[in-house]
Chains A and B, each alone.
Chain A
Amino acid sequence: MAWNFEKPLVTMVDPATNEADKRLWEKEDLGGITEDNNRMPMPVVLLVVLTVLTAFAVTFPLWGQRPTASLYAGYIKSMDDPHVKAITNDDDAMKMIVQLNKASGTLDGRSMEDMLERHPISMNDLRIIKPQMEALMASGVDLGEYEVVGDQVVLANFQGNLKADGTIERKQPWWDKGYTIDIFYLTYFFTMVIVMIKRLPPSTWQPRHNVH
């Protein structure tokens, strides 16, 4: 089973081993079952390549995020608006808050209005998180690094890019080390599978079944 690197994309074993493998392949009866040595059809190869590209493209963290605390900063400020304070009914007050924050621009490149619509919140929820939010705003931290989880405003569980001060950004990056690990993992996988397949006789050879 010596290695042969003359034409690695055709075969990686020496001719003698290839011949022995071919003889065995044609001679051996595996419970009446035989196997051919076809290569993977090109459309299927392309499908696998497309799958790998899609796997990265579709999993980038663009959707399905928890709301960051910054999403509700406007709402919290609006709670102290005299017009809102004048409303006694919670539902009406909430409608007014939403109205006041309409067309409030973008957050991380996405429409604030759309995101607020996707993550609705009630006056009760706002009352619960208000003290925590105000404390954070007073301390001057980036609210984009905090999330609202139930009744808690917490530091996000992200491990993003390194900031200039050496701390880790707590925002979802478009790329994280999970993808880096994936790239290494995929590279190892395809390298090993190609090596394994190229240790077989070349795909230009097909066994002649039932001739022995």
Chain B
Amino acid sequence: MFKYLMARNEDIPPGASAVFFGFSAIIWFVIGTGLGSFNAAKLAFPDFVTGDMYFAFGHMRQVHVMAVIFGWISMAFAMAMMYITPALGNNKLWSEKLGVWNCMLWNIGLLVALTTLWAGITSGREYSDFPWPVDLYLATCVFIPLGVNVWMTIVNRRTQGIYTTNWFFAAATFMVIIVFLVGNSPEFFHLTGLTEAYLTWWFAHNVLGLWITPVAAAIAYYTIPKITGNPLYSHRIGHLHFWSVVVFYSTPAAHHLMSAPLPEWLKSFASVEGVLILVPAIAFVSNIMLTMKGKWHMFVENVEVRFTITGCLMAIPLNMQGGFQQTRAINWYIHGTGWIVAHAHLALLGFSTFLEAAAVYLGLQTLMNRKLYSLKLANMHFWLLLVGFTTYWVSMTIAGLIQGAGKIYEVPYIDVVIAEHPYMIARWLGGTLVFFGNTLWLYNMWMTARKGTVIPAGRMPHELQYER
């Protein structure tokens, strides 16, 4: 990477920044899930690593969350944008050099940010835990350069139209910058009270709704038609999906605060909008499933398709939960319980991770012109991820229901802790399977770079037979 930092843009091979982002994302995924497994072990076995404040759950939880969101997920998005945006415009990335710098500044910034977080320097606001200088750094050195590269690549495209994926990429990079700057304003301007609470959850909601969800979906709009060779089922459903994400996902932040003294009309408004997130979900899932027509055998045969379709299928329970758990009727029961933790993992480790993993698998093979080193390892990765995630999700959902019952019926706290202990062990087991799967993935992609079969020019990775 370093040799390209001072090179001329023309001298940097196309796709270099995407490859750097791809490997960075996988490494952060290993780190993030490793931290997750460690944290889960602390909940499952309370005597595990005690006596050092730096290894206390309170110090480490947010490091895990931020490593996964801004390391794994966001860098995988950047990787996808660096190679899919130009591919869809039949041109090159506007600036590979900016992409390489972006990747380096992102890695350095995140390393510093997580270190400060680990040291206990935090805003104390969930999901926007970073202190304000880090927020400003992330906006100016991470998201704005990424957005500029994406927008300029689209502006300089060699097509007249813009494909659906690039609508999402262009809009999401714009929206995440706004979300970052506005959502962290309580720190910039020392806002307190309900304003702080509302903006904290406006940020948390929109990082999911206007960044992670749309970009993950945009990836599927690329991978499925690209690999199956089928046309996207419907351009017009794409319109419904895109605009309903922008309109319905941006507004329900208040549904995170259904028990707070916000105006009730705002909660009513947000709660209806919260259910309406099912509209983009219905549009997305139906469009992708119908695009698969006649190619369902690839769900079994092709790793990237399997990852993508699994992610799409997870959008169904994800949005059913997300749509209804925020209503007054259900929120009073499950608010503040493990149910929410399970739901957050369904969004990040289920739905979006499977879609991003497909993009990274496809992108790295395509850009390095190397066929995947080992199909067996890729299959193992898929199953470890799926079984690990499912174990985690189911166990935490049950634990959440137990906690909800304990909360409502005022069961003594320690009794609830004892009742949910088996599920905490299951959570740790599930998370550890995911971590183990990711180490295999890192090895597989590293070996792909070194020993993968060369893909002839003009061919797609899936058109070649696996050699191992």
Residue B258 CB within 8 A of the other chain:
yes
User: Taking the nearest CB of chain B, how far is it from the CB of A45, in angstroms?
Assistant: 10
- Cα A185 to Cα B279 in complex, Å, equals 14
Are A36 and B239 touching (Cβ within 8 A)? no
User: Taking the nearest CB of chain B, how far is it from the CB of A90, in angstroms?
Assistant: 15
Are A24 and B161 touching (Cβ within 8 A)? yes
Question: Which residues of A are found within 8 Å of B279, using beta-carbon distances?
Answer: 48, 51-52
Are A203 and B236 touching (Cβ within 8 A)? yes
Nearest residue, chain B, Cβ from A38 = B234
Nearest residue, chain A, Cβ from B264 = A158
Question: Which residues of A are found within 8 Å of B231, using beta-carbon distances?
Answer: 33-36, 207, 209
Among residues 311 to 327 in chain B, which have CB atoms less than 8 Å away from a CB atom of chain A? Answer: 323-324, 327
User: Taking the nearest CB of chain B, how far is it from the CB of A169, in angstroms?
Assistant: 12
Task: Please pick, from A157, A159, A181, A193, the residue contacting B240 in the complex, using a CB distance under 8 A.
Answer: A193
- Cα A48 to Cα B282 in complex, Å, equals 7
Are A59 and B226 touching (Cβ within 8 A)? no
Are B269 and A178 touching (Cβ within 8 A)? yes
Name the prevailing secondary structure of the B interface residues.
Answer: helix
Question: How many residues on chain B are close to A (CB under 8 Å)?
Answer: 63
Task: Please pick, from A48, A55, A192, A200, the residue contacting B243 in the complex, using a CB distance under 8 A.
Answer: A192
Given A55-B276, A56-B272, A185-B247: A40 in contact with B240 (beta carbons within 8 A): yes
Residue B235 CB within 8 A of the other chain:
yes
Task: Please pick, from A37, A120, A193, the residue contacting B235 in the complex, using a CB distance under 8 A.
Answer: A37
Q: What is the interface residue range for chain A against chain B? A: 35 or more
Are A40 and B236 touching (Cβ within 8 A)? yes
- Cα A206 to Cα B262 in complex, Å, equals 49
Question: Which residues of A are found within 8 Å of B163, using beta-carbon distances?
Answer: 30-31, 33, 35
User: Taking the nearest CB of chain A, how far is it from the CB of B316, in angstroms?
Assistant: 11
Are B329 and A39 touching (Cβ within 8 A)? no
Question: Which residues of A are found within 8 Å of B333, using beta-carbon distances?
Answer: 64
Nearest residue, chain B, Cβ from A37 = B235
Given A40-B234, A176-B265: A58 in contact with B329 (beta carbons within 8 A): yes
Task: Please pick, from A31, A58, A66, A200, the residue contacting B275 in the complex, using a CB distance under 8 A.
Answer: A58
User: Taking the nearest CB of chain B, how far is it from the CB of A118, in angstroms?
Assistant: 8
Q: Give the one of A149, A186, A192 with max B CB within 10 A.
A: A186
**Which residues of B come within 8 Å of A, CB atoms?**
84, 87-90, 159-161, 163-164, 222, 225-226, 231-240, 243-244, 247-248, 251, 258-259, 261-276, 278-279, 282-283, 286, 290, 323-324, 327-333, 408, 410
Known: A149-B261, A176-B265, A177-B265. 14 other contacts (CB 8 A): A30-B90, A31-B89, A33-B163, A35-B235, A51-B323, A58-B327, A61-B268, A63-B329, A157-B262, A176-B268, A182-B273, A186-B276, A193-B240, A196-B239
